[in-house]
């Protein structure tokens, strides 16, 4: 039933117009231009993803995306400076901040001083213009053929940041890749970033997505992650987009042997959020921990879709996803663990938990295991429930008023995810973001 839709939606027509008008001006030589054209063709053939596609079952973008915005104009000097001066949860932590404003990497508002030896930071637009960027997923990736939003990103990505660490480089100072949208006309931003850690290297990467409330801007951000053998990556992502924003984030990761990856995400903003990650544990004896929490209210919709493939023996993966859903919000979690035949002694576990705070709140979980090896330990579980009234009474019996008791229990529920963050400063900031969400809930 995945035939080409006969009728194009308004958003699909808009995207066609955007590609026709903006496409020729996007950075890229001949090779990139051809890749963009092919990618757009692949997208156009399938159209926006819809609920009849299993991977998009809970997020019918074809229905939910009413229009497609024109590409954002490059921010002017004032907007750049304002975005550069804005302070946030992570100000003052001393991280190396790289600022992407309205989809454009702004070098003059980024901290590019005293680059550690072995660290390379470049604007993706330069790599595209030089025709050397790679827009297609690597050969070992588990991205489904023709993944529509990734294809759309390949067609329209204008900029982003490429960060590379030479083998053996151990960065003490975390890198903060900050995506900020200014309060301009609602527009679309397609960014493509890459983070590569050479063998034996280690780094902490923080990504934040923020923008103004009330603006229905659209973000399609792709991160290409390569973690070399024996390398270590701590990755934290905060999706704090404006309340009317559409955010589609895709991470494609390939992880080498004996590497350690600890990824934590917190989604507390955005009107419609789809976070998808396609992770390949390509090398043996790798440890990957991925956890995330969504804090949703109003009419927010957040979908986390994770595909993790064990391709080599002896790796361990842990996924923990939690959703706190209030109002008429909707959370979806899809997680698939694939264990290839070669991946004996795989140890993989996945857990999805949702806490519903209102009658109208919805949570969907769909964990899947696909196992082709015979000597493995795999497990998954999912729970959906309301706040525990017994625990709430216990707190109230000690004098804690009902709203505060609920806030404590919710913070504790989310705490398991946030506590997985290794960096103290980031952990405290995420705890603050959770507390702010709880306060706003009232």
Partner 1 sequence: MTALLEIRNLRAEIGGREILDGLDLTVAAGEVHAIMGPNGAGKSTLSYVLAGKPGYTITGGEIWFKGEDLTAMAADERAAKGLFLAFQYPLEIPGVATLTFLRAALNAQRRQRGEPELSSPDLLKRVREIAKTLNIDAEMLRRPLNVGFSGGEKKRNETLQMALLEPALCVLDETDSGLDIDALKVVANGVNQLRAPDRGMIVITHYQRLLDHIVPDVVHVLASGRIVETGGKDLALQLEARGYAQYQSEAA
Burial 381-405 (b: 16+ CB within 10 A, else e): ebebeebeeeebeebeeeeeeeeeb
**Which listed residue (128, 413, 421, 431) binds partner 1 by CB under 8 A?**
413
CB of 331 to partner 1, least distance (A): 19
* Smaller CB separation from partner 1, 369 or 391: 391
Task: Tell me the helices (H) and strands (E) count for the chain, helix number first.
Answer: 9, 19
227, 261 contact by CB (below 8 A): yes
For the bound state, the minimum distance from the C-beta of residue 373 to partner 1, rounded and expressed in Å, comes to 33
Based on the shown chain and the rule CB under 8 A, indicate whether residue 409 belongs to the binding site for partner 1.
yes
- Residue 85 interacting with partner 1 (CB under 8 A): no
Q: Which is nearer to partner 1, 82 or 411 (CB)?
A: 411
CB 87 within 8 A of CB 168: no
Q: What is the DSSP string of 363-395?
A: EEEEEEEEE--SS-EEEEEEEEE---HHHHHHH
Question: Between 146 and 401, whose beta carbon lies closer to partner 1?
Answer: 401
Residue with smaller CB distance to partner 1, 231 or 418: 418
With CB under 8 A as the rule, give the number of residues binding partner 1: 22
Distance separating alpha carbons of residues 327 and 396, to the nearest angstrom: 23
**DSSP single-letter state for residue 352:** E
By CB under 8 A, tell whether 73 contacts partner 1: no
Q: Which is nearer to partner 1, 114 or 424 (CB)?
A: 424
> Do the Cβ atoms of 214 and 181 come closer than 8 Å?
no
Q: Which is nearer to partner 1, 134 or 388 (CB)?
A: 388
Q: Which position among 411, 423, 425, 428 is part of the footprint of partner 1 (CB under 8 A)?
A: 411
To the nearest whole angstrom, how small is the minimum distance from the Cβ of residue 413 to partner 1?
A: 7
In the complex, minimum distance from the CB of residue 388 to partner 1, in angstroms, rounded to a whole number: 8
Residue 423 · residue 430 · CB < 8 Å: no
* Smallest separation, CB 398 to partner 1 (Å): 4
Contacts with partner 1 in 361-400 (CB under 8 A)? 389-391, 393-400
How many Å separate Cα 298 from the centre of its chain?
21
| Single residue of 257, 311, 405, 429 touching partner 1 by CB under 8 A | 405
Distances (CA, A) of 234 to 244, 262, 292, 319, 418: 29, 5, 13, 15, 13
Collapsed DSSP state (helix, strand, coil) of residue 31:
helix
CB atoms within 10 A of CB 170: 14
Contacts of 401 by beta carbon, 8 Å cutoff, 6+ apart: none
> To the nearest whole angstrom, how small is the minimum distance from the Cβ of residue 384 to partner 1?
18
- Considering beta carbons, is residue 120 or 419 the nearer one to partner 1? 419
At closest approach, how far in Å is the CB of 216 from partner 1? 35
Task: Enumerate residues 283-342 that contact partner 1 by CB under 8 A.
Answer: none
Which one among 67, 116, 216, 416 touches partner 1, defined by CB under 8 A? 416
The window from 136-144, 236-244, 256-264, 413-421 that contacts partner 1 (CB under 8 A) reads 413-421
Within 10 A of 138 (CB to CB), how many other CB atoms are there?
14
Closest approach of partner 1 to the CB of residue 291, in Å: 14
Binding to partner 1 by residue 442, rule CB under 8 A? Answer: no
- Interface with partner 1 includes 404 (CB under 8 A)? yes
- The span from the CA of 126 to the CA of 133, in Å, is 9
Q: What phi and psi values does residue 207 have, to the nearest 5 degrees? A: -120, 130
Q: How far apart are CA 100 and CA 93, in angstroms?
A: 19
Kindly report the number of other CB atoms within 10 A of residue 133's CB atom.
25
Assess 408 for contact with partner 1 (CB under 8 A): yes
DSSP 138: P
Contact flag: residue 166 with partner 1 (CB under 8 A): no
Q: Which is nearer to partner 1, 172 or 397 (CB)?
A: 397
Give contact residues for partner 1 (rule: CB under 8 A).
Answer: 389-391, 393-402, 404-405, 408-409, 411-413, 415-416
């Amino acid at each position: 039933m995945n035939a080409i839709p006969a009728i194009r939606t308004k958003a699909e027509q808009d995207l066609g117009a955007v590609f026709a008008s903006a496409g020729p001006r996007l950075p890229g030589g001949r090779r990139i231009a051809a890749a963009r054209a092919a990618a757009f063709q692949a997208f156009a053939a399938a159209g926006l993803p819809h609920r009849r596609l299993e991977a998009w079952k809970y997020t019918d973008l074809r229905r939910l995306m009413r229009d497609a915005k024109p590409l954002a104009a490059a921010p002017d000097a004032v907007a750049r400076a304002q975005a550069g001066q804005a302070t946030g949860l992570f100000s003052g932590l001393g991280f190396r901040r790289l600022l992407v404003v309205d989809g454009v990497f702004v070098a003059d508002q980024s901290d590019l001083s005293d680059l550690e030896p072995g660290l390379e930071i470049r604007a993706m637009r330069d790599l595209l213009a030089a025709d050397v960027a790679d827009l297609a997923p690597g050969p070992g990736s588990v991205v489904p053929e023709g993944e529509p939003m990734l294809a759309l990103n390949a067609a329209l990505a204008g900029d982003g940041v490429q960060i590379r660490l030479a083998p053996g480089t151990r960065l003490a100072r975390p890198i903060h890749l900050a995506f900020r949208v200014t309060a301009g006309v609602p527009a679309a931003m397609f960014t493509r970033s890459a983070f590569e850690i050479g063998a034996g290297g280690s780094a902490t990467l923080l990504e934040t997505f923020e923008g103004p409330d009330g603006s229905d801007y659209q973000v399609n951000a792709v991160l290409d992650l390569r973690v070399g053998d024996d390398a270590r990556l701590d990755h934290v992502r905060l999706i704090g987009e404006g309340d009317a924003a559409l955010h589609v984030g895709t991470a494609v990761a390939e992880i080498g042997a004996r590497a350690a990856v600890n990824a934590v995400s917190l989604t507390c903003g955005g009107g419609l959020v789809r976070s998808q990650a396609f992770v390949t544990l390509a090398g043996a004896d790798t440890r990957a921990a991925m956890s995330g929490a969504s804090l949703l209210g109003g009419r927010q919709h957040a979908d986390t879709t994770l595909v993790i493939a064990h391709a080599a023996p002896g790796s361990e993966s842990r996924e923990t996803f939690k959703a706190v859903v209030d109002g008429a919000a909707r959370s979806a979690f899809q997680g698939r663990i694939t264990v290839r035949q070669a991946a004996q002694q795989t140890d993989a576990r996945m857990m999805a938990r949702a806490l519903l705070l209102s009658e109208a709140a919805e949570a969907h979980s769909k964990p899947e295991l696909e196992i082709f090896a015979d000597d493995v330990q795999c497990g998954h579980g999912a729970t959906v429930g309301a706040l525990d009234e017994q625990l709430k009474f216990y707190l109230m019996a000690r004098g804690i008023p009902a709203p505060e008791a609920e806030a404590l229990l919710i913070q504790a529920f989310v705490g398991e995810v946030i506590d997985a963050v290794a960096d103290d400063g980031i952990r405290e900031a995420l705890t603050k973001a959770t507390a702010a969400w709880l306060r706003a809930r009232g």
